[in-house]
Structure 1
Amino acid sequence: MIRHAGRDSWLTDIYLILFLALLGGLGIGMAATHTHFLLVNVLFLGVTFCLILLTYFWGMVTGLLVNLAFIFAQIVFAIYEEQLNPQDFIWSLTYWLVLPLLLSVTFYGMTVHARRLQTENAKLRSDLVERGAFDEATNLRTTVSYIEDTAVFTETNRRFDLPVTTMIVRIRYFQEMRSMVSDTQMTALLKLVSATIKDAMRTNDITYLIDRNNPTWAVLLFTNADGANIAAKRIKDKFTEALPKDTELANLEVRLVVGVASWDPEKMKNPYDLMNAGIKETEYDV
């Protein structure tokens, strides 16, 4: 994919340079013939822009066909003018035979490769999110990172006997309120909760957004359940203070529920067990 992106990038640059060079050639041609053919030049210029747009929106085949039709019309026009009013300089307009076609082709090529770059970039961002690097809206790590980091935390627990606890944060009655919340408010709510959690935690506590459909945040902490419950209360208090100050969310009644679960090597075998235990605890937060 990276190789294709690099090729599309330099092809886009080449087509852009060619397009600009052809525009320069068109300008020189129009300047050289403006004395005798000002109206014809203006008319042909308008047709050229139409041909470029037709090629862009309808594709290369359609663009080539309409350009060939324009070339044929020019030849018929030149022959007619030659028969009606013989003059040698009518053939000085021959640059209009090729430049509209070349401009259409180069502009189409430039936009095609630019669109491919945009598609590849969007896919890369999507893959990055799916693979757990970060959530695009909140800049928080996601589920895959949570699972990987939990394995590190639990290994530290095994080696140094440090308590490891996860804290799961959800929005109470989210499914019921989702239909009453606009997309803009939903984005604002995700950002507010994320910022509140990060602000309430210590710098070495890692915050994750592990589910966007039913917004679920997780925090990994080197502490016991009592210490995590203190942090949970701090999160709730800060969120209660911050919610009325947000203009997008001030009219909403939103409450957070928090579940706390500590790592138990006797009962838990993998990071999913710890995460699911924390999610289960949110059901008992009243």
Structure 2
Amino acid sequence: MEHIFKKIDLYFIALFVDVFIIVSYSFFFLNEKNITNFIMLGILFISIIYTYFSGIIKGLLASGIIVFIYATYKLYENFLNLKYTENYDYIWVVFIPLSVFIVGKLVENINIIQNKSLKLESEYKELVTIDKNTGLSNLRGFYYDLDREISRVKRHKISLTLMIIKISYYDELKSVLGEESLRIVVEKVVAGIKESTRNEDIRYNLKESTFAILMAETDVKGAEIVEDRIREKIKNLNLYIKENKKNIDLEVKIGAVQYSEKISGALEFRELVEKELEYDV
């Protein structure tokens, strides 16, 4: 990566030198009688912009066509003795393709940096297992941990219970409370879940309205105790909502299933718990 940054620095320096020479030339030799050079200056900058968006290959092809037309025009002028061509008039033959080449290479290296940055960002997202809004593990972390815990249960014959908590009427709550107030409510729900579980229990944010708790060495009866604690926290949260003059009741659905050998894997385990949510009315 470092050598690419060095290349970019070199091409920037080359571009500055290139522009300095062209601007100096324009300052000393352009005047109202020399409209051709003024047009060529405009074409140069158009070529640079075209190369920036289209790439070095198309830019060089375009500059080649421009140079050919310009050189042909100058030769035509000389041949017919319409106008005497100064040597410095041919600066465009060199500096248009040179400028295009420098900008093209600069863009190429910038694109390499951008592509590597996007790749790193994608890889980072794949590795991240923490939801930034709640501080809980996310869906990726959920399946990773669930597969691992299922394997551990099979080896050591210990109990494992999965609980899912879903906030009912989430979209309606967003409309009534607004996004900011709902965010605060969700934070309090998350805090209640954390306070109701052990340190060794793993908590997840599966999506905006759905949370999960993976409880190792816990059976269904143990999960019922956790459920009662969470429901008590929700009652207290409803009191908080009413104190803020919001005439609504926050409702949650809670389902829990203990793992058994009949369950084929993580996906089926989650589906079974979500079916339990349907019976929680």
Q: The TM-score by the shorter chain falls in which range?
A: 0.5 to 0.7
> Contact conserved, 1:197 with 1:207, CA < 8 A, in 2?
no
Superposed displacement of residue 115, structure 1: 3.7
> Contact conserved, 1:52 with 1:107, CA < 8 A, in 2?
yes
**Paired amino acid for 1:36:** F
Question: Distance between the aligned counterparts of 2:261 and 2:64, measured in 1?
Answer: 78
Give the 3 Å change call, closer, same or farther, for CA 272–61 of structure 1 in structure 2. Answer: closer
Question: Distance between the aligned counterparts of 1:120 and 1:254, measured in 2?
Answer: 49
**Among candidates 220, 225, 228, match of residue 227 of structure 1:** 225
Q: Where does residue 150 of structure 1 map in the other structure? A: 146
Q: Where does residue 263 of structure 1 map in the other structure? A: 258
Give the 3 Å change call, closer, same or farther, for CA 126–102 of structure 1 in structure 2. Answer: same
Give the 3 Å change call, closer, same or farther, for CA 28–110 of structure 1 in structure 2. Answer: closer
The answer on 1:34 being equivalent to 2:27 is yes
Question: Distance between the aligned counterparts of 2:155 and 2:14, measured in 1?
Answer: 67
**Paired amino acid for 2:162:** T
Task: Kindly provide the CA deviation profile for residues 31-54 of structure 1, in whole angstroms up to 9, marking residues without a partner as x.
Answer: 256223256665433322211222
**Among candidates 60, 83, 99, match of residue 64 of structure 1:** 60
Question: Distance between the aligned counterparts of 2:183 and 2:110, measured in 1?
Answer: 32
Q: TM-score, normalised by structure 1?
A: 0.65
Q: Where does residue 15 of structure 2 map in the other structure? A: 22
Matches within 5 A, 1:98-113: 98-113=94-109
> Contact conserved, 1:12 with 1:110, CA < 8 A, in 2?
no
> Contact conserved, 1:168 with 1:278, CA < 8 A, in 2?
yes
> Contact conserved, 1:171 with 1:257, CA < 8 A, in 2?
yes
Question: Distance between the aligned counterparts of 1:49 and 1:167, measured in 2?
Answer: 64
Superposed displacement of residue 126, structure 1: 4.3
Matches within 5 A, 1:1-286: 6=1, 10-11=3-4, 13-15=6-8, 17-31=10-24, 34-37=27-30, 43-76=39-72, 78-79=74-75, 80=77, 83-84=81-82, 86=84, 90-126=86-122, 129=125, 133-134=129-130, 140-151=136-147, 153=149, 155=152, 164-173=160-169, 195-200=187-192, 201-202=194-195, 205-210=201-206, 216-221=210-215, 224-233=222-231, 236=234, 257-265=252-260, 268=263, 270-286=265-281
Superposed displacement of residue 131, structure 1: 6.6
Bigger shift: residues 258-267 or 92-101:
258-267
Q: TM-score, normalised by structure 2?
A: 0.65
Give the 3 Å change call, closer, same or farther, for CA 266–26 of structure 1 in structure 2. Answer: closer
Task: Kindly provide the CA deviation profile for residues 224-266 of structure 1, in whole angstroms up to 9, marking residues without a partner as x.
Answer: 2133214432664577588899xxxx99x89553323253446
Question: Distance between the aligned counterparts of 1:190 and 1:15, measured in 2?
Answer: 47
Question: Distance between the aligned counterparts of 1:173 and 1:199, measured in 2?
Answer: 20
Give the 3 Å change call, closer, same or farther, for CA 36–129 of structure 1 in structure 2. Answer: closer
Question: Distance between the aligned counterparts of 2:241 and 2:95, measured in 1?
Answer: 61
Give the 3 Å change call, closer, same or farther, for CA 147–33 of structure 1 in structure 2. Answer: closer
Question: Distance between the aligned counterparts of 1:169 and 1:208, measured in 2?
Answer: 10
What SS does structure 2 have at the residue aligned with 1:25? helix
Equivalent residue pairs, number: 265
Give unmatched runs, 5+ long, in structure 1: 1-5
Give the 3 Å change call, closer, same or farther, for CA 267–47 of structure 1 in structure 2. Answer: same
Give the 3 Å change call, closer, same or farther, for CA 28–61 of structure 1 in structure 2. Answer: closer
**Paired amino acid for 2:28:** T
Give unmatched runs, 5+ long, in structure 2: none
Give the 3 Å change call, closer, same or farther, for CA 242–77 of structure 1 in structure 2. Answer: farther
Coordinate RMSD, CA, aligned: 4.7
**Paired amino acid for 2:142:** Y
